[in-house]
Structure 1
Amino acid sequence: MIQRVSAYSDRLRIALLILNESYWSRRILHGIARYADVNGGWDFWLHPRGMEQPRRLPADWRGQGVISRISNEPLRQSIALHNLPTINVSWLGDHCARFPKVIADPLAAGQLASSFFVERGFEHIGYVGPPLYYGYQDVILPELTKTAENAGCRAYQFVPDPDVKQADFDFQRVRLVDWVRSLPKPVGIVAWHMIQAREIMLTCSAEGINVPNEVAVLAVENDPLVSQLSPIPVSYVEQRIERVGFESAQELQRLISGGKPRDKPLLIPPEGVVEMASTDTVFANDTLVQDAVAFIKQNCDVAINVSDLVQHLDVSRRSLEDRFRKVLKRSPAEEIRFTRVRILKNLLKTTDLTLVEISRQTGHSCEKSMLRFFKRMTGLTPGAYRQSHPQVPRDNDQEDSWD
């Protein structure tokens, strides 16, 4: 018998059947723990397991609810036997009243990833989907393709070798090399997860293909360690995984209290794209535009304008405007504004600097100037943007709890 009595009789006893070997799953567990902590504490039954370990809820476990990554039928059946409120946090399977889902929104992630490359002037977008052995119905690809084609871009899908079942993506290396070679350049490639993104970059390095100027790489699923082990840091979609965990715990408590399951999955939209070196592309064969973009990035902490670009490049304003619109489909002034607002967003999301400090670091004359610029560009005040994009909680983070 594994049944045990909690030292705290009023605490909910919750079973967690979630992978703990991946960064994604551990962040879900962080979110669940955070919700439980601010709601009096829960007594967890945690089944430590990885991909190859048995997945089931023992028949003699007793508790009030379950949060699980329901990835196969034996696990589903072992949970169903208990007839307890259950939340499914996996993209696998369908949403239903018995196993309602709380998940990161995969369609929004596909749209965001594709839009990211479209907005940066890419005409070609590649996609490497989940390995076949994962068993996922790939809902990211259709949204990515639709977004690209609606913008007049072309999408390319990597088709893995169906006879290769190994988890190590290195076994697809030969086919991946041929695919990357065949793509028109420059191309932005969206990878299902960070392991694939790293493999793409290793392939490019071995083939003498420049990342990010010929091939830019963006991962849908983040893993900071794998990114650190890559040739250069990898950009990724910030999918607010801790929020998935937090909302799944909150939804479970609602069901335990007598609430009815939702008709549709509770989808947590992505926060945005975290830009790293793998997508820091300087476009085109036009060296003048390349130099201009590099100058804008190097001087993002001062209030440069188009006249500064003209003087630095020793070119006429009209010529600069024409070449920017031909290559990037936008003006030099728009490129300056977009670059400055991206930096502001990044500082607001990833630091706790005051608005005065941020305005000083980004070349604004004063805080009010920065406030006006940010609201004009985004429709939000910096404070509202920061509030809607909470920083990733740390183990010792005592910030508010998304309530």
Structure 2
Amino acid sequence: MHRQLPDPSQHARIHRIALLFNANKVYDREIIAGIGDYMRSTRATWDLFLEEDFRCRLPGIERFDGDGIIADFDDPAVAEALRGCPLPVVAVGSSYEDPEHYPAKEPYVATDNGKLVSLAYRHLIEAGLQHFALYSLPQAPENRWAQQRELAFTRLRRQDNPAAPIEQEIYRGLSTSAPTWHQAISQLIEWLRGLPKPIGIIAVTDARARHLLQACMTAGFAVPEEIAIIGIDNDPLTRTLSRIPLSSVIQGTVEMGRTAAHLLHQMLGGARLAGRQILVPPVGINVLASSRHQPLASPYVMRARHFIRQYACQGIKTEQVADYVGISRSSLEEHFRRELNCTVHQEILRHKLDAAKHMLASRDVATAEVAVRCGFTSPQYMHAVFRRELDCTPREYQERATTESQS
């Protein structure tokens, strides 16, 4: 008996959908990934239009011969260009403290700024910090979402401490540009110098968090002992641009994309969703070194750990750490024994081992290459350290990590 083949004429209609995002940003890319997830998990058949270089170009969008649009309304130019658009439009963007700021005609899927900032703030409190600040962006129509995060931070600080000096705790700085880069870092350092220490700082994006890390390295502030830093976005590219791994709040951007696609799918079927608002909470926090604050009494240990955190994988020795701190090796060793109950060498080795574990777990790489890149004198020495500290070989650790990630 022959199985009847499906009739192509009965297939669902293919809808032409435009995605108006600047997908060179991780936030936009993950929203697009969520849209793709929705398409793969449903019978939606969409022909997607997205600029080849991933930038959002608006000229001519009013002539788009399609069936629907999903757009980033954090960009005022996008919202303005789609004003009066006859096609179904789903807006994606930032949440607002004032409900009047949401679009009235389009369903709106928003990242929950209040919960993003609250998650970062509570994390810094749990790290034992008592002083807090926020590194934002200059006021501008395209930065409305950053100002919403300022409002969320201000509300949290007022709840916890009505007398908090909010004006000094929020710093907007300069916009990023080549001509003003040196001036921006210099002004950022001056702001950091005037803050009480230790302090936890929330950056409104990972890019702003990277500025903080760079300013701390330039000025010699120990991260996270003096200044603990947490960003928002969990951008993997940003993490590769700093010696100190950056903690970051993971936004629910993939879920935002799935939700936006679901809403548009409903609208293509005739549903009327004008003015509907859906707030998507953050996924969690990727906690890394930049916010793992540990209160320390000795400024020498703070400076030493700051140096070790940056250069452990370059094969530094105890003498080099002591030279950086500016005291004798024996004095530094005594401070380490009192504060951390370990030697300087053991602290260096711990950072090298952590780096090796991360490399082995994150990609298929030869153990010899890991040994070189993590500052071990030889693969044999790294093998011995793994045996002693983890009771397994580097290869066994890699295989176990691979199996766990696939389960």
TM over 0.5: yes
Structure 2 residue 130 is the aligned partner of structure 1 residue 127: no
Structure 2 residue 86 is the aligned partner of structure 1 residue 83: yes
> Which deviates further from its counterpart, 198-207 or 59-68?
59-68
Structure 2 residue 151 is the aligned partner of structure 1 residue 151: no
Aligned residue for 2:188, secondary structure, equals: helix
Which residue of 221, 225, 228 corresponds with 2:237? Answer: 225
Q: Partners of 1:221 and 1:185 in 2: how far apart?
A: 26
- Aligned 8 A contact 1:56 1:79 in 2: no
Relative to structure 1, is the Cα distance of residues 115 and 57 closer, same or farther in structure 2, using a 3 angstrom cutoff?
farther
Q: Which of the two has higher C-alpha Rg?
A: 2
Instruction: Determine the structure 2 residue equivalent to 1:44.
Output: 48
CA RMSD of aligned residues (A): 3.5
Structure 2 residue 140 is the aligned partner of structure 1 residue 136: no
Q: Partners of 2:171 and 2:206 in 1: how far apart?
A: 18
Structure 2 residue 194 is the aligned partner of structure 1 residue 185: no
> Which deviates further from its counterpart, 54-63 or 238-247?
54-63
% identity of equivalent residues: 24
The TM-score normalised by the length of structure 2 is 0.63
Structure 2 residue 116 is the aligned partner of structure 1 residue 109: yes
- Aligned 8 A contact 2:137 2:172 in 1: no
- Aligned 8 A contact 2:127 2:292 in 1: no
- Aligned 8 A contact 2:150 2:170 in 1: no
Relative to structure 1, is the Cα distance of residues 227 and 73 closer, same or farther in structure 2, using a 3 angstrom cutoff?
closer
List runs of 5+ in structure 1 lacking aligned partners.
Answer: 1-7, 291-312, 316-349, 352-393
- Aligned 8 A contact 1:160 1:175 in 2: no
How far did 1:280 drift? Answer: 1.3
- Aligned 8 A contact 1:115 1:148 in 2: no
- Aligned 8 A contact 2:234 2:248 in 1: yes
- Aligned 8 A contact 2:34 2:258 in 1: yes
The TM-score normalised by the length of structure 1 is 0.63
> Which deviates further from its counterpart, 26-35 or 9-18?
9-18
Alpha-carbon displacement from aligned partner over 1:276-327 (angstroms, at most 9, x marks no partner): 110111114289xx9xxxxxxxxxxxxxxxxxxxxxx999xxxxxxxxxxxx
Structure 2 residue 292 is the aligned partner of structure 1 residue 265: no
Instruction: Determine the structure 1 residue equivalent to 2:332.
Output: none
Relative to structure 1, is the Cα distance of residues 177 and 121 closer, same or farther in structure 2, using a 3 angstrom cutoff?
same
Relative to structure 1, is the Cα distance of residues 167 and 241 closer, same or farther in structure 2, using a 3 angstrom cutoff?
farther
List runs of 5+ in structure 2 lacking aligned partners.
Answer: 1-10, 303-335, 339-360, 363-404
How far did 1:212 drift? Answer: 0.7
Aligned residue for 2:260, secondary structure, equals: helix
Q: Partners of 1:192 and 1:235 in 2: how far apart?
A: 12
Q: Partners of 1:43 and 1:178 in 2: how far apart?
A: 51
How far did 1:260 drift? Answer: 2.7
Instruction: Determine the structure 1 residue equivalent to 2:293.
Output: 281
Relative to structure 1, is the Cα distance of residues 47 and 273 closer, same or farther in structure 2, using a 3 angstrom cutoff?
same
